[in-house]
Amino acid sequence: MKASDTKATLSFSNGGQPVELPIYKGTMGPDVIDIRKLYAQTGMFTYDPGFMSTASCESAITYIDGDKGELLYRGYPIEQLATNCDYLETCYLLLNGDLPNAEQKAKFSDTVTHHTMVNEQMQFFLRGFRRDAHPMAIMTGLVGALSAFYHDSTDINNPAHREISAVRLIAKMPTLVAMAYKYNMGQPYMYPRNDLSYAGNFLHMMFATPCEEYKVSPVLERALDRIFILHADHEQNASTSTVRLCGSSGTNPFAAIAAGVACLWGPAHGGANEAALNMLYDIQKEGGVEKIGEFIKKVKDKNSSVKLMGFGHRVYKNYDPRAKLMQETCNEVLTEMGLEKDPLFALAKQLEKIALEDEYFVSRKLYPNVDFYSGIVQRAIGIPVNLFTGIFALARTVGWIAQLNEMIGDPDYKIGRPRQLFEGSPKRDVKPIASR
């Protein structure tokens, strides 16, 4: 960042000394006012619950223009990456800052492929769960447990440890998500296969059984790879901020990523894809398209706490570019599966149309986000609803790692430790219990 020649001057109506605050410019997007010295100079904190107006860091990884509905990974538009690249190329880009050439891509893919197995002990860890445990509960446990197997690479301040942990996490997330699914199904785990692509290997570990040869569908393989690309990173969202804050204590990468998995699970964040599909199922059960009006009425009723899941975004005040690409992928997969008449897809498109013409949504700039269509395409691929967020976590792992490494790689980083506006009781003395 570079200091601009403009400054912000904070003046106080109570006669306090005005304070000058430097303003910095980035490559793109809003400038920032550096308030790091504010407390020392004024004895006051800023106040911004939910961080609506707060930049927590400087970053060169992902840029979002919420007004234009634009998303760039290291400067490349998501539309171009989703069309011209695959997920492992995108991982390389996010981690290293530029797209790999053919040799770099081959080496990176080969390295990831040869780290896809997990320690055989992991299967016994799963046995502690009920068979119907939610996959995200299993994933939160498994990812944290990885740190118990890699004592040779848990020093987050060691670049070599960060590099091997990044490869291990990217390589093993698909294996762990597939194991969680097989555990739910009561089916045997399928070992990873080194002759398959990243997405093809995941499909194999999910849907193959020891009883017969499983053929990976190239259309589903490509669709899943694109879904991974669309979810790979997204600036300082809740789970990425969680990973940064967790990692800032110096904890190991596996523990920091496990914190990200736990945060992503929430329905306001990565859990919205599961919630969006369940919302569509409910409307379908109530009677489908003709019940949309009734549902929208509930959403607009402040007392109902019903939200149109998969709609709205803190940053996008225009169409989420990922939602558009996801809708296209939906079309491709449903056509391939002979499900182009899928009633749920028709319902979703009608729901979107009605919402985008309704003043409530228009005035609040609420558009479909990445989670609105992703459930429909994952369901068509055969992925169960409760595994959607696990797939999101699988794909977002590379973004979490890239953001964590960017923070740790900055020699000036400090442990994150926000302050508060205290509104509790003034100091008081403990009374003996007899007189309370």
Residues that bind ligand SDX (CB under 6 A): 234, 237, 268-270, 272, 299, 307-315, 364, 366, 369-371
Taking the least distance from each CB to ligand SDX, the nearer of 154 and 369 is 369
Min. distance of Cβ 273 from ligand SDX in angstroms?
Answer: 8
Encoded amino acid at 16, one letter:
G
**Which H or E run contains 74?**
none
List residues bridging with 64 in a β-sheet. Answer: 71
Q: How close are the terminal C-alpha atoms of the chain, in Å?
A: 57
CA dist., res. 5 & res. 52, Å (int): 25
In sequence order, the 6+-apart residues with CB closer than 8 A to the CB of 111 are 167
Cβ nearer to ligand SDX, comparing 192 with 312: 312
CA 175/CA 317 separation, integer angstroms: 36
- Minimum Å distance from CB 58 to ligand SDX? 18
- Closer CB to ligand SDX, residue 178 or residue 370? 370
Shortest spacing between CB 380 and ligand SDX, in angstroms: 20
Beta strands in 57-198 (DSSP E): 62-65, 70-73, 76-77
In the complex with ligand SDX, the residue whose CB is nearer, 197 or 273, is 273
3-state SS assignment for residue 20? strand
Measured from the CB of residue 151, what is the shortest distance to ligand SDX in angstroms?
Answer: 31
Any catalytic annotation for residue 204? no
Backbone dihedral region of 363: left (phi > 0), alpha (psi from -120 to 50 degrees) or beta? alpha
Residue 8 bridge partners (DSSP): 21
CB of 294 to ligand SDX, least distance (A): 15
**CA-derived radius of gyration, the chain:** 24
Report the nearest approach of ligand SDX to the CB of residue 347 (Å): 16
Known active-site residue 313: yes
Residues 6+ apart with CB under 8 A from 63: 27, 28, 29, 70, 71, 72, 75, 235
Nearer to ligand SDX, 135 or 260 (CB): 260
Instruction: Choose between 161 and 269: whose C-beta lies nearer to ligand SDX.
Output: 269
Between helix 272-286 and helix 292-300 the angle, nearest 10°, is 130
Catalytic residue among 225, 233, 320, 371: 371
Beta bridge partners, 26, equal none
Q: Which of 313, 358, 410, 429 is catalytic?
A: 313
Q: Please identify every residue annotated as catalytic.
A: 313, 371
